A and B are shown apart, each in its own frame.
Chain A
Amino acid sequence: MQPDNHDVDPARTATIEAYADTVVPGAKRSPDDRAVAGAALGGGAVAAGAVELLEQPGGGLAEALDSMVYTLNDHAAGYATAHGLALDDGVPAFVALPFEHRTALVLELTAPEHPEKQMWVALALFSNMAFDSAAHLTTADAFANRHPGLLTIGYFPPDADGLFRFPQYSYGRALAPLHPQTTVTGDPA
């Protein structure tokens, strides 16, 4: 399924990006990048394709994103007021928050007692999934495109036919004494 996001609002995208970047932080794409805070080296969830994954209708969150973006910015504005922070109103409130405050707010929203926890956990889950498994791309394409998440975790690439095989896989020797009560079938007694 293809994402249906031809005329999405840039503020909406920036807000989603800022959330994804809080989950798996990355380097700024350009010096004036506002959504990505630049808190970590290398690509993070945004460069990994979190927005593409979240916008896929099959994922189940795409339809809810408008209202999530609205609610997130509302929470961010409330958070700023509570903490006496003045926000740049040229960008959405969550994007305007400095990285450490974005982090603190995501912690609050995903805490077990938060009434909207499930929705914010789902947003984090998909952001992470874009990074560590590139779930919006075929894995072969992800490798061909040097997907930053798969490269960061050091995921070994497949063979030329797209399948993984590891001919060397074992230390090849006994490394512990067996439990003394092991049965003849190799089971616990």
Chain B
Amino acid sequence: MTSTESTDVVVIGSGFGGAIAAYHLAAGGARVLVLERGPWLQAEEFEHDFKLGSSYTRVFDFVVGDGMSILGGNCVGGGSVVYFATMPRAPRFVFERRGSIGRRMWPASITRDTLDPWYDRVTEALPVTRQSWEKVPYAGGLFAAACAHAGRTANPSPSAVDVDECVNCNWMMAGCRFDAKRSLLLNYLPAAVAHGAEIRPLHEVQRLTRLADGGYRVHYRVVDEEDYRILHDSGEIDAKLVILAAGSGATPVILQRSEPDLGRMPHAVGRYFSGNGERLNTAILDEDKVRDVLGLSRPDGSAYAAYQIGRGPTVASWDRLDGSLPEYERFSLEQLYFPPGLGTILAQVPGATGPSWFGLEKKEMLRQWQSWLTIFTMSEDDNEGVFGPPPETGNAHRLSMQMLGDGPLRYRPTANTWRGWSLSDAAVKDILERDGLARVAPWTNDLVGAYTVHPLASCRIGDDPATSALDDRHELRGHPGIFVTDGSAVPGALTVNPALTIAALAERAMPGIVRAARERGVAVQYGAPAPDGSTAARVAVAPTV
């Protein structure tokens, strides 16, 4: 069964890029339809449960590629529902990066200074707040103390968690039961709906075709609500303007599949993918040393043994975010929690004599799980990911009814990428093996390749048409009326968590997108306040639009 509807704007995906666009366009008066492949869950549906089929596997997505696996959200709200809500701004030097292309990767119009007012808009909207040491969970405190012991600095990271509401359950990856985490379900999306936007969950967009009037037809399939391997009806929606925000692992795939009808895609569609230079190390702490060397103890008498307690990453070390260091040698380190199920298999036994990721020694390591500390590196990779031919539907061949699939991304880390990873491995060892505090080993890349929760750059903005798919207004080169506002538009690795930068870029793109919609005959205006009505940040950006 196929039916054709029409609207002003179709937004594909409801993560940061999609939600922000949907809100501004709807608030400005456009008819907006959001198509999201995943289900639409509310706080009371977010379970603390590892069972296959619980909210945890319904809202999560894990696509294994050739040399790189991507973790992300699969629900209304996208990655914001499963994310850890650590929301720092990218350091100034990031915008000056050249990467492998021999020229500045970012458009000339974007620097940290020009992006700051747009960062402000997002921090007001979610909101994002500065954090205090008093409320940093044990794991973050431990990492901070170890950094200080090693002569380094550490900072509580800015966060979009309302810490007064947070119970430190560390179930953020299954969605926040307590609405303490400021996901998009609490701000941009309900505000978009209040302004008339319609969100359709379980609608997976497959491709776009061009209409005679310069608009686009969006082709989707309805996804089974329990078994995502099953696709039901198909449908089509005609729109004057399309916002593509399916995430860096899906946006280029939709465009590749659309190429036979739309015509040639820019060279950079599906190229220059970055995993944000991610790398993980797991440390197994010696509890006695934690007490004796760092002087830490908990009310129950233990020193640490609290891996399970907290709210993801809360403390970061920014000593290597130094713009005077050479490119590929700068990175941040962040304490992290990763739940069992996904978070133990790749951890390797430090100094293993047999297999490092399974077997006898691994089981012994698992016995000490509460004394683990995971350290997350975000470094400068080389944009070396390339997407192969698209799968039949979606962006992956789905293996399990939910969560697990394999996709067409190929990633072979270059020597540059390895330089950052090796330097950061050494830094983690220096901090955590000092005075016998812990034993440390990086996660293996042998099983699912490298892995990222921060996919970026697969359809990026830039000034050079040869190496960027979008112009600096986020319009797809050669395909007017298609805009990309998700993480795929970010030019490269950021050395910090990316969601705030993705969101700030989407905010920055909105005045131009509204203008383009008007030129296409949509009655829409730019100028909505923050979703809760706050106006300080809107006032601040007004002179720039």
Query: Residue A88 at the B interface, CB < 8 A?
Result: no
By a CB distance below 8 angstroms, the chain B residues around A15 are none
| Cα–Cα distance between A135 and B50 once the two chains are bound (Å) | 5
**Which residues of chain B from 301 to 350 have any CB-CB distance to chain A below 8 Å in the complex?**
305-306, 308-310, 315, 317-319, 321, 332, 339-341, 344-345
Instruction: Give Cα distance in the complex from A156 to B369, angstroms.
Output: 11
Question: CA A71 – CA B417 in complex, angstroms?
Answer: 37
Determine, out of B7-15, B85-93, B240-248, B511-519, the stretch whose residues face the partner at the interface.
B85-93
Indicate with 1 or 0, residue by residue over A169-183, a CB within 8 angstroms of chain B CB atoms: 111111111111111
Give the contacting residue for B89; candidates A44, A107, A185; CB below 8 A: A185
The complex places the Cα of A134 from the Cα of B50 at a distance, in Å, of 7
Query: Which chain B residues lie closer than 8 Å to A59 at the CB level?
Result: 52, 400-401
* B147: chain A residues within 8 A (beta carbon): 176
Contacts A179-B155, A188-B89, A188-B332 given; indicate if A136 touches B141 (C-beta within 8 A). Answer: no
Between A124, A128, A169, A177, the greatest number of chain B beta carbons within 10 A of the residue's beta carbon is seen for: A169
B54 contacts partner chain A, Cβ-Cβ < 8 Å: yes
Q: Among the listed B138, B148, B152, B227, which residue makes an inter-chain contact with A58, where contact means beta carbons less than 8 Å apart?
A: B227
Q: How many residues of B contact A (CB 8 A)?
A: 87
Shortest distance between the CB of B161 and any CB in chain A (Å): 12
State whether B446 touches A153 (Cβ < 8 A).
no
Q: Does A162 make an interface contact (CB < 8 A)?
A: yes
- Chain B residue at minimum C-beta to C-beta distance from A171: B141
B170-A128 in contact (CB<8A)? no
Q: How far is the CA of A187 from the CA of B112 in the complex (A)?
A: 12
The reply to whether B401 and A138 contact each other, CB–CB distance below 8 Å, is no
- Asked whether, in the complex, the Cβ of B144 is within 8 Å of the Cβ of A175, the reply is yes
CA distance A1 to B218 in the complex (A): 33
* Whole-angstrom distance between the Cβ of A81 and the nearest chain B Cβ: 23
Interface positions of B from 220 to 241, Cβ below 8 Å from A: 227, 229
**Known A173-B134, A176-B153, A186-B130; contact A164-B169, beta-carbon cutoff 8 A:** yes
The answer to whether A138 and B366 touch (CB under 8 A), given A155-B308, A155-B340, is no
B422 at the interface (CB under 8 A from A): no
Asked if A140 is an interface residue, CB under 8 A from chain B, the answer is yes
Chain A residues with CB under 8 A of B50:
133-135, 139, 142
Alpha-carbon separation in the docked complex, A122 to B354 (Å): 20
Residues of B within 8 A of A22 (CB): 358-359
The reply to whether A132 and B366 form a contact with Cβ atoms under 8 Å apart is yes
- Is the Cβ of A185 less than 8 Å from the Cβ of B148? no
How long is the Cα–Cα vector from A25 to B448 in the complex, in angstroms? 22
7 interchain pairs (CB within 8 A)? A106-B358, A107-B355, A118-B406, A163-B177, A175-B296, A182-B155, A188-B321
Pairs of residues from A and B, 4 with the lowest C-beta to C-beta distance, nearest first: A186-B130, A176-B154, A133-B341, A58-B401
Residues of B in contact with A (beta carbons under 8 Å apart): 47-54, 57, 64, 88-92, 123, 130-131, 133-138, 141-142, 144-145, 147-148, 152-158, 167-171, 177, 227, 229, 296, 298-300, 305-306, 308-310, 315, 317-319, 321, 332, 339-341, 344-345, 354-355, 358-360, 362-363, 366-367, 369-370, 398-402, 404, 406, 446-448, 496
